[in-house]
Amino acid sequence: MTLMDGKSLRDELLQKYKEKIEKESLAIRLDIITVGEDAASEVYVRNKVKYATEVGIEVITHKLANSVGEKDIIELIDELNSNDKVTGIILQSPIPEGLDFKKCAGRIAHHKDIDGFTLYNIGNLYLGRESLVPCTVKGIMILLEHYKIDLKGKNVTVVGRSEIVGKPLTLALINRDATVTVCHSKTRDLVEHTKNADIVISAVGKKGVITEDMVADGFVGIDVGINRIEGKLYGDFDFEGVASKASFITPVPGGVGPMTVAMIIDNLIIAKTMKR
């Protein structure tokens, strides 16, 4: 069994990005907007700032109060959209209840949409013209590539159908000639689909929902779940059992998570250098 080490690959990639940014003197600026307070997302933002800064990217964080309205967020986004110094914009999720995240994030200019959530970038993914692809999806693709796991003709079961992971992942996998099955909370017999898969990608967000009896011998397991319980992180895989049957598997933490952060930098470089 090979552990897919997202952390090492992240560090390797960051080094490459750093060299590229220096060598080509790329003046990249990332603007992150947060609204209100959220403990988990504070950690995420801190990480984004840390790694972006390390590779030579300027990061500006805009902390909006809990009390702002959609209008204020959109005004700020419009301002950043038209500011030529700004390469990329991230609206950090979640934003306070009552505010429409999709509407606000959808306002980000598509060439500055580092998360790849705008209709334009999703549409391009759909059309097989990938450019700014959602970071988690891209991280998984690069991780699979790194470990030389071919997707062509493979049975891949995706568990979860969110707009951030499950759905864009499905499109990216179809683009790479995989046979994709999308499962979710309404799936009648999940085991039947996970057991039949060469590759299982779980993005449920429930500790240990994928167990040893649900997977095939020699399967490849990608765990997108990040479940924080009493300060500790757990994935969707019941790790020890599942790992005993895997040929390749990602740990949590240290698998997909670090790749996602690296892909933010990747997307920023694409945004900076893309033809428009």
Beta bridge partner(s), residue 222: 201
Q: Is 38 exposed, middle or buried (0-12, 13-18, 19+ CB in 10 A)?
A: middle
Residues in contact with a copy of itself by the rule CB under 8 A: 102, 118-120, 122-124, 126-127, 152-155, 161, 163, 167, 170-171, 174, 177-184, 186-188, 192-193, 196
Task: Tell me the C-alpha distance between 133 and 122, whole Å.
Answer: 7
Q: What's the closest the beta carbon of residue 104 comes to a copy of itself, in angstroms?
A: 14
| Backbone phi, psi, residue 165, to 5° | -125, -65
Residue 160 CB, nearest approach to a copy of itself (Å)? 11
In this structure, is the dihedral angle defined by the CA atoms of residues 192, 197, 199 and 201, taken in order, positive or negative?
negative
- Least CB distance from residue 198 to a copy of itself, whole Å? 9
By beta-carbon proximity to a copy of itself, the closer residue of 20 and 161 is: 161
- Residue closer to a copy of itself, measured from CB, 5 or 236: 236
SS3 221: strand
> Closer to a copy of itself at the Cβ: 55 or 165?
165
Smallest separation (angstroms) from a copy of itself to the CB of 190 = 9
Sorted by sequence, the CB contacts under 8 Å of residue 71 that are 6+ apart come out as none
What backbone phi and psi angles, to 5 degrees, belong to 265? Answer: -65, -45
Nearer to a copy of itself, 126 or 147 (CB): 126
Closer by beta carbon to a copy of itself, 134 or else 258: 134
Q: How far is the CB of 199 from a copy of itself (least distance, A)?
A: 13
